[in-house]
Each structure stands twice: as C-alpha cells, then as structure tokens.
Amino acid sequence: MTAKLQKWVAGLGAVAMSVAMAGCGGEFVRDSRSPVRLVINSIEVNDDQNTLLSDVITMVTSPEPCKPESPCPSVLNDMAVVNLGLIMRDPGSPASPDAPSPLNQVTINRYRVQFRRTDGHNVPGVDVPYDFDSAMTLTVPATGASEGAFQIVRHSAKEEAPLRSLRFTGDIISTIAEITFYGRDQAGNEISASGSMGVDFGDFADKKN
C-alpha cells in the first residue's frame, strides 16, 4: 500500500469514527434531557397476574334483560395497572448523593400499545390487533412510586380481525403487548419508558356471577 493510499484510508477511518460518535451522541440527546429516568416497576392485570387472558366475547348474565338462562354476548375492554418510579441519571457519590427535587417529578400524558407475536406473523388487523395511542394523566413523584390504570385492549379491537374470528372457537392468539408511556418532567423535558406484558386472546370460559 502506498503512503498516499495509507493516508487516505486513515482519514476515512477517522471520518467514520466521528460520524459514529455523533450518532451515539444524538441518540443520547433524543433519549431525554431530563436528569431522571422513568422506570416501569410492574405491569399487572386486576388479578395480579403478569399475563392477560383477554376474552373476545363475554356472556353477561345481568342486568336485565340478560339472565343466567339467557345470557347476553358482550364485548368488554381489558384494563391493566402500571407502577412507575423515577431514578436519578447521576446519583452522585455516597458522600454527596444527588437528591431529587419537585422539578424532577414526571407527569405522564399518553401511552402507546403495540402487539407482536413470537412467530413473526405481525401484520396489524390480520395477525395481531392494531396499535393504538391513548391519553393518560399520572404524576410520578420525585421520590416513591405511582400507580395508574390504563386500557390495554380496546372494545373495538375485539370487533375487528383477527380477534373477532376467535369467537365460539377454541383458537388462541398469543401476543406480547409492548406499552410505552410518554410524559414530561416539570422542567418540560420529554421522557418515556417501555414495558411489556403477555396477552393471550381467545373465547375463554366466563366466570360465574
């Protein structure tokens, strides 16, 4: 390799390295400028389970005119509960820890739910329910944690493909719901955190009243 070619290769490597470093810095900035990180401690359904069995059709026996002998087929949404907390990005040192302030508390204003399957069949409206966004207001204190309920499966999803076709069958669609919560700290910095929950869709046996 000539000296001229060696110099050209070295220069190209330096340019590539600087571009890569710029990319890494950009990702860090886009992550958040907030001095705190939003942490999902847990996502659970109302019976403290980490997997949701989403019934695509429910036979309701009350109120009238629904009766045990003539139940009414109904579509119900599914709710979950999230527990959120905050941690400092820079905790400081043991001798001088960085204590959070009221400006560090975060208010959640919306969330997004996306469904995927582990077999790779992930076309919304064909293999899995459509992604959706919804509003939510929940303030996470600078210290401690906060819990809030949110809709993880909408009524409308059970009226659409592919869930509607599961009614009165023994078929089950197993998915992973990926939920991302978005908000701002009290200084206006954007912040988000993502978690997941298993969701199995099917026409499950209804609980007795």
Give the pLDDT confidence of 91-138 residue by residue, as tens digits: 877 777 777 899 999 999 999 999 999 999 999 999 999 999 999 999
Q: Can you give the residue ranges of every domain in the chain?
A: 1-31, 34-202
Report the alpha-carbon distance of residue 174 to residue 162 in Å, rounded: 12
Q: What is the DSSP letter of 7?
A: H
CB-based burial, 115-145: b 16+ in 10 Å, e otherwise: bbeeeeeeebeebbbeebeeebebebebeee
Q: For residue 182, is pLDDT > 60?
A: yes
d(CA 153, CA 54): 8
Q: Which two three-digit tokens encode residue 136?
A: 């939510």
User: Spelled out in words, what is the top-level CATH class assigned to the domain 34-202?
Assistant: mainly beta
Given a cut of 70, whether residue 24 has pLDDT beyond it is: no
Q: Is the pLDDT of residue 90 over 80?
A: yes
Residue-level pLDDT at 31: 55
For residue 190, what are the CA distances in angstroms to 7, 39, 70, 87, 98? Answer: 44, 14, 51, 15, 21
Nearest in space to 163 (alpha carbons), one of 54, 69, 63, 88: 54
Measured CA to CA, the distance from residue 54 to residue 201 in angstroms comes to 5
Distance separating the N- and C-terminal Cα atoms of the chain: 83
Task: Report the 10 Å Cβ neighbour count for 34.
Answer: 21
Confidence check: pLDDT of 19 > 90: no
Give yes or no for residue 67 having a pLDDT over 90. yes
Classified as helix, coil or strand, 12 is: helix
Please give the order of strands across the beta sheet that includes 172-185.
51-55, 190-202, 172-185, 106-116, 132-140
**pLDDT value for 208:** 58
